[in-house]
Chains A and B, each alone.
Chain A
Amino acid sequence: MHQKTTYEVTITNKLDQLPVPDLRDAIWSRIEGELDADLPNDDGGDTPPSSPNSGNLLRFALPGIIVIIITLFLIKANQKQKQKANNKTTPNTTIVTASPTASPPPIDTSTLIRNTQIPVVRPGTNVPVSPMPIKNDSVTSQPTTVVVVPPVTDNTTQQAPSLVQAPPPQPLKTDSVVGKKKRGVQGITDKDYRIVPKPDSSRKN
């Protein structure tokens, strides 16, 4: 601040007495419009104010968000357990079981059904067994399980023998020598192709 001169004091005093124009309502309508357009924010303040509406929304949405996160986490854990169970079984069999949990999560049954297609084969039938496509997340593909059910007999008292698990069908390998299909009729050797004249039984000498 500096010391004011005479003329500066005169000008200041005169301007303080200046009647102000009455533009209150016009200016207030502009102010109100801008305040309605924006939520009040701090201009350079340290902590921005939070409007009451956003707080309520957060309170209602937060439990739902937590439930969704927990559900996703449990589904993922369930899938990991399934994969571990698949890796631990013998190469010939794959057993899919639902892992018991304390609080059973909402399991995606469509996924389970897709993963456990166990075809049932009855001996004596000509129904070919073809492995169902399995959706597998693991790197190594696991063979399917084929459960052979023995034919039903008339003697109902006879106990059905235990289920025999047939070896799984060999997977088709088009680029391997081992699984090459044999050509020709089986059981014929080169001897069969030698022409051996038969002795003439009608000649006597």
Chain B
Amino acid sequence: MPLLEYDIETMLEGCLANDRKAQKLLYEHFYEFAMTIALRYSRDDMDAADIMSHAFVKVLKSIRTFDSSKGSLHAWIKRIVVNEGLDHIKSRSRFSENVELETVAEPGINNSVLEQMGAEEIMKLIQKLPPATHAVFVLYAIEGYNHREIGERLKISEGTSKWHLSEARKTLQQQLTQYNT
């Protein structure tokens, strides 16, 4: 049951007053939305649960900093969950490769095979990518960021971002080919 606008306002007021019921209500309302994002940056459900718990603690602790004039509550929570997801991936590996490539191969991916696959199968393929490659692929292919923006967020060069995307596509295509045969 979707919350009405005045319900969200009441819920935010309760969160500002550290009312536990209001905080739980906010969590329950955004659980599915946030978990969908968290799963993209995780290797499994437990990883996603870690990302969720850290992200919502940050949301509830810093609820006073939310400014409705600068954006929606959805966008604000999504930004926190994505940042938490990236931190989670970074904790597994260092994003320090600086591969300066002027031209990077852009292998294609067979879309028809993708359409035949289920969401869980696709998710498992992405989760198996190496950490840095996984982060770049999700930010580029799913979140829609460009390489400059990805470089700023992950503190890597644009060249390194392009290389990781190229690697992700190669790996996924190989696995899709194996799936098809």
What separation, in Å, do the CA atoms of A173 and B128 have in the docked complex? 95
Q: Report if A23-B45 is in contact (Cβ < 8 Å); known contacts: A7-B111, A8-B141.
A: yes
B144 in the interface, Cβ–Cβ < 8 Å? yes
- Please state if B31 and A18 are interface contacts (CB–CB under 8 Å): no
Q: How far is the CB of B62 from chain A (nearest CB, A)?
A: 3
- Please state if B65 and A42 are interface contacts (CB–CB under 8 Å): yes
What separation, in Å, do the CA atoms of A26 and B111 have in the docked complex? 37
Q: Which residues of B contact A42 (CB under 8 A)?
A: 61-62, 64-65
Q: Which residues of A contact B62 (CB under 8 A)?
A: 41-45
B-side interface residues, number (CB < 8 Å): 46
B86 in the interface, Cβ–Cβ < 8 Å? no
Q: How far is the CB of A7 from chain B (nearest CB, A)?
A: 4
Of B1-9, B50-58, B92-100, B151-159, the one with at least 4 CB within 8 A of chain A: B50-58
A15 in the interface, Cβ–Cβ < 8 Å? yes
Which one, B27, B53, B111, contacts A10 given CB within 8 A? B111
Nearest residue (CB) in A for B46 is A23
Of A29-37, A164-172, A177-185, A193-201, the one with at least 4 CB within 8 A of chain B: A29-37
- Please state if A43 and B58 are interface contacts (CB–CB under 8 Å): yes
Q: How far is the CB of A46 from chain B (nearest CB, A)?
A: 8
Q: Report if A18-B144 is in contact (Cβ < 8 Å); known contacts: A34-B57, A44-B65, A45-B62.
A: no
A12 in the interface, Cβ–Cβ < 8 Å? yes
What separation, in Å, do the CA atoms of A6 and B108 have in the docked complex? 10
- Please state if B40 and A34 are interface contacts (CB–CB under 8 Å): no
A38 in the interface, Cβ–Cβ < 8 Å? yes
What separation, in Å, do the CA atoms of A1 and B126 have in the docked complex? 21
Nearest residue (CB) in A for B115 is A10
A127 in the interface, Cβ–Cβ < 8 Å? no
Q: How far is the CB of B151 from chain A (nearest CB, A)?
A: 13
B160 in the interface, Cβ–Cβ < 8 Å? no
Which one, B28, B141, B149, contacts A11 given CB within 8 A? B141
- Please state if B114 and A24 are interface contacts (CB–CB under 8 Å): no
- Please state if A14 and B146 are interface contacts (CB–CB under 8 Å): no
Q: Report if A41-B61 is in contact (Cβ < 8 Å); known contacts: A21-B45, A23-B45.
A: yes
Q: How far is the CB of B65 from chain A (nearest CB, A)?
A: 4
Q: Which residues of A contact B45 (CB under 8 A)?
A: 21, 23
What separation, in Å, do the CA atoms of A144 and B120 have in the docked complex? 99
A-B pairs with beta carbons under 8 Å apart, 10 shown: A2-B144, A2-B146, A11-B114, A11-B142, A14-B118, A31-B56, A42-B61, A43-B65, A44-B62, A45-B62
List chain B positions with a Cβ less than 8 A from chain A: 18, 20, 23-24, 27-28, 31-32, 35-36, 39-40, 45, 48-49, 52-53, 56-58, 60-65, 108-111, 114-115, 117-120, 122-123, 126, 140-142, 144-146, 149
Q: Please name the 7 residue pairs, one residue from A and one from B, whose CB atoms are nearest each other, closest first.
A: A43-B62, A18-B119, A20-B35, A30-B53, A45-B65, A7-B109, A8-B141
